[in-house]
């Protein structure tokens, strides 16, 4: 895309989709000037009616603009309205209106083309400043580039850059004896605390360590979760081994990543767990096993609530009859498949199709649509949010804040399989949740690796 050397004064022209994507975008440009064309205000007005998420967001943007313009005079509106922020320098807001605007030839008179025309005219009038169009519309960015208009994507809400990978949550040292202890030059003090072996480390703590991550060696002789960490000190606690003797609802871990996932799921001190990984790595299977272990056996929770975004991979099949659970049934294929495997005996027979089994588990397991979760408070609940990558950060925030007393939330997803339009691997709710809770001591994240997957699944992922 077209870029220029940014001058001291910068004017950022915001497209409608930027404001609908992030209602707080007005406050993300520091001391620079934010320009809202009249065409954008008209489009916001068209979107404000209704009960859909886009209508609520449009109304929120309108209220923000109303608050900014409420106590200023006409002269100040012309000179730029101050945008006061909680910290840092204040910016300015300009409302752009050209009564005699001429559209660009040979382009049609459409909202996108009018925004381009308004941006081009502003560039001619403000030769002293850098005028940059900000839009999430790829086609508009291409047209702007063709016209030589400086244009950028809105990147402020990205949890990580395209060149980065999602936080893995695991740091494996190939040779613990030389690289972990001797290589890091740490002073180590070991003690037993309430049947847990705790390592107190002093020295140069690695910069990539954070609370809730796994530190392990290559041969799995040492696996510990980071409980506390600072520049010079860290506290590590050895985790349980679910590979051989101990199990969760009869399920064993296959590698250190799955073993760490089980420890996060079974840990009373961890309230929020995020598990990422490609299809077939055991995310849902292990989470359901941990949920039943703590609900039916140890009685830590009273119920399991399972929800996921009802987003189709292709064309929608239309309205569905029945109750809320019956309507959600087509989206719950992963749940039913894993229940069938969890309840399979040594002879290969599953009791999931048995009416008595379904009635027994149905009293403890609830399948809920995310659209009806707003306003609820879930107490004594093991909440599983599947396909979390298809939620926006705002939607996932609405679900996470449903947590009440003694509630554990587990978010499962794969940022490589996003079916929601306009979301990417670094702007989806899953990525935002992992990044925001990275340093919270009661949250943990792990990215599972491909284990025991079929040859066809692995070949398909590599070739397609």
Average pLDDT over residues 10-37: 91
> Does the pLDDT at position 88 exceed 80?
no
Superfamily for the 10-152 domain: 5'-nuclease (3.40.50.1010)
pLDDT at 457: 54
pLDDT computed for residue 286 by the predictor: 94
Q: What is the pLDDT of residue 65?
A: 92
Q: Are 129 and 51 in contact (CB under 8 A)?
A: no
Strand order across the beta sheet in which 443-447 lies:
365-367, 303-308, 381-386, 408-413, 272-276, 443-447
User: Cα–Cα distances in Å, from 56 out to 53, 60, 136, 204, 372?
Assistant: 5, 6, 19, 48, 16
Q: Check pLDDT > 80 for residue 453.
A: no
DSSP 39: H
* Assigned token pair, 370: 């995310």
Q: Cite the beta strand spans of 244-294 per DSSP E.
A: 272-276
Q: Mean pLDDT across the stretch 397-424?
A: 90
pLDDT at 264 over 60: yes
Residue 7 has pLDDT above 70, yes or no: no
> What's residue 332's pLDDT?
65
Q: What is the pTM of this model?
A: 0.75
Task: Please give the pLDDT value at position 402.
Answer: 93
Q: How far is CA 47 from CA 16, 54, 140, 224, 311, in A?
A: 10, 7, 19, 51, 22
Residue 193: other Cβ atoms inside 10 A: 9
Q: 298 or 178: which carries more pLDDT confidence? A: 298
Task: Calculate mean pLDDT across residues 141-169.
Answer: 81
155 vs 379: which has the higher pLDDT = 379
Q: How far is 39 from 103, CA to CA, in rounded Å?
A: 12
| Euclidean distance between CA atoms 352 and 302, whole angstroms | 21
- What is the spatial distance between Cα 335 and Cα 295, in angstroms, rounded to a whole number? 17
pLDDT for residue 421? 74
What is the distance between the alpha carbons of residues 277 and 286, in angstroms, rounded to a whole number? Answer: 13
Pairwise CA distance, residues 292 & 261, whole Å: 15
Residue 29 near residue 93, CB atoms below 8 Å: no
Q: Which is the CATH superfamily of the domain at 254-463?
A: P-loop containing nucleotide triphosphate hydrolases (3.40.50.300)
- Percent above pLDDT 90 for the chain: 45
Distance separating alpha carbons of residues 79 and 50, to the nearest angstrom:
34
Q: What is the pLDDT of residues 244-260, one digit of tens each?
A: 878 998 899 999 999 99
For residue 170, the surrounding DSSP H or E stretch is strand 170-173
pLDDT at 381 over 90: yes
The pLDDT of residue 346 = 66
Where would I find the H helices in 6-110?
16-21, 38-47, 53-69, 74-79
Which of 1-5, 290-294, 430-434 bottoms out in mean pLDDT, i.e. has the lowest? 1-5
Closest among 340, 288, 334 to 310, alpha carbons compared: 334
What does the pLDDT look like over 157-180, one tens digit per residue? Answer: 776 655 466 788 999 887 655 456
Answer whether 404's CB lies under 8 Å from 383's CB: no
Residue limits of CATH 3.40.50.1010 in the chain: 10-152
Q: Which residues of 157-187 are buried (b: 16+ CB within 10 A; e: fewer)?
A: bbbbeeeeebbbbbebbeebeeebbeeeebe
> Cα(250)–Cα(227) distance, rounded to whole angstroms?
28
Q: What is the mean pLDDT of the chain?
A: 84
Angle subtended by helix axes 38-47 and 111-125, to nearest 10: 150
Q: Where in the chain is the domain with CATH 3.40.50.300?
A: 254-463
Which one has a higher pLDDT value, 378 or 182?
A: 378
- Note the pLDDT of residue 463: 46
**Residue range 368-384: average pLDDT?**
89
| Local confidence band at 140 (pLDDT 50, 70, 90 cut-offs) | very high
């Amino acid at each position: 895309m077209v870029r220029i050397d940014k001058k001291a004064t910068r004017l950022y022209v915001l497209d409608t989709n930027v404001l609908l994507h992030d209602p707080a975008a007005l406050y993300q440009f520091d001391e620079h000037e934010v320009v809202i064309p009249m065409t954008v205000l008209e489009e916001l007005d068209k979107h404000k009616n209704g009960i859909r998420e886009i209508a609520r967001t449009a109304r929120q943007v309108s209220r923000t603009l109303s608050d900014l313009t409420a106590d200023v005079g006409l002269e100040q509106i012309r000179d730029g309205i101050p945008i006061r922020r909680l910290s840092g320098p204040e910016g300015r807001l300009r409302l752009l209106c050209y009564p005699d605007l001429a559209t660009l030839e040979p382009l049609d008179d459409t909202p996108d083309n009018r925004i381009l025309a308004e941006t081009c005219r502003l560039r001619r009038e403000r030769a002293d400043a850098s005028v940059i169009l900000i839009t999430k519309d790829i086609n508009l960015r291409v047209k702007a580039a063709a016209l030589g208009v400086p244009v950028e994507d809105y990147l402020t809400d990205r949890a990580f850059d395209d060149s980065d990978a999602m936080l893995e949550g695991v740091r494996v040292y190939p040779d613990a004896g030389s690289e972990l202890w001797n290589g890091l030059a740490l002073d180590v003090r070991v003690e037993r605390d309430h049947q847990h072996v705790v390592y107190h480390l002093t020295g140069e703590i690695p910069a990539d360590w954070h609370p809730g991550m796994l530190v392990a060696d290559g041969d799995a002789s040492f696996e510990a979760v980071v409980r506390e960490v600072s520049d010079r000190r860290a506290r590590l606690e050895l985790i349980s081994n679910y590979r051989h003797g101990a199990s969760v609802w009869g399920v064993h871990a296959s590698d250190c990543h799955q073993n760490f996932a089980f420890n996060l799921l079974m840990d009373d001190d961890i309230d929020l767990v995020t598990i990422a990984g490609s299809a077939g790595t055991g995310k849902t299977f292990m989470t359901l096993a941990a949920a039943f272990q703590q609900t039916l056996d140890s009685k830590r929770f009273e119920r399991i609530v399972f929800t996921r975004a009802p987003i189709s991979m292709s064309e929608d099949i239309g309205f569905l009859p029945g109750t809320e659970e019956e309507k959600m049934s087509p989206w719950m294929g992963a749940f039913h498949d894993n229940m069938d495997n969890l309840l399979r005996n040594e002879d290969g027979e599953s009791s999931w199709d048995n009416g008595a089994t379904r009635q027994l588990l149905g009293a403890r397991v609830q399948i809920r649509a995310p659209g009806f979760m707003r306003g609820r408070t879930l107490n004594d609940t093991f909440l599983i949010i599947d396909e979390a990558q298809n939620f926006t950060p705002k939607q996932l925030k609405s679900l996470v804040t449903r947590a009440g007393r003694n509630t554990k939330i587990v978010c499962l997803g794969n940022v490589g399989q996003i079916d929601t339009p306009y979301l990417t691997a670094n702007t989806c709710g899953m990525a935002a949740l992992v990044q925001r809770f990275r340093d919270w001591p009661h949250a943990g994240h792990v990215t599972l690796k491909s284990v025991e997957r079929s040859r066809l699944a692995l070949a398909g992922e590599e070739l397609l």
